[in-house]
Amino acid sequence: MLTGEGDKAFTAGADLKNMATRSSNDFAESFWWPPTDSGYVEVYKPVIAAVNGFCYAEGLNLLCGLTDIRVASDTATFCYAEILRGFSGTGPAIQHLPRQVAHATAMEWLLTGKVFDAQEALRTGLINEVVPLAEVKRRAIEMAHEVATLAPIAVRALKEAIIRGISVDVPNAIRFANTIGVLTRYTEDAREGARAFAEKRPPVYTGR
């Protein structure tokens, strides 16, 4: 589960006061990003967000680029704020937002720096649920426990098939998903799942 400390912010973004002191001499160091700073992170363990407040700038990068299931408090607000401060921004949200919500909605948020609330995020499909602030972390943990009862190898394989499949054409995405799916059928957990069904009991998965 990914959340912010306290109740004020998921993350409020970069230190703008520090950015105000940058000079043009810093350009050469920051223009060619190292591969590790590209914003693309390969994490195939499911990540659940508990958005407990401001989700601005880097917060949207984390939300769009790293999390799979998203619960927000009714006090949460969202904004891709870079355009309001004179620069276009960096990070995965620029590419993920138009893929995760309607293109026109993403373009409005990105090009205007609009601040939008949790209800708009829910209505447009950016998040899964809105709950009271006092409940947001508990609800995210509850969802994490629900996923954790499933076979770990199968869950990770399914997420990898989904994430990798988005970036390729549909026939090859299906082929990859089928290939990795066949491999998971030969795990001990797959045998346990079948036994538990036949014996009418809950399965006990071991991640093997």
Which domains are present in the chain?
A: 2-148 (3.90.226.10), 152-198 (1.10.12)
* Amino acid at site 43: V
Please write the tens of the pLDDT for every residue from 35-77.
555 555 788 999 999 999 999 988 999 999 999 999 999 999 9
CB hemisphere CA count around 25 (13 angstroms): 2
In this predicted structure, what is the pLDDT of residue 87? 78
- What one-letter code names the amino acid at 66? L
- Token pair of 110, please? 């990105």
pTM of the model: 0.83
Give the torsion through C-alpha atoms of 60, 95, 127, 16, to 10 deg: 10
122 has pLDDT over 90: yes
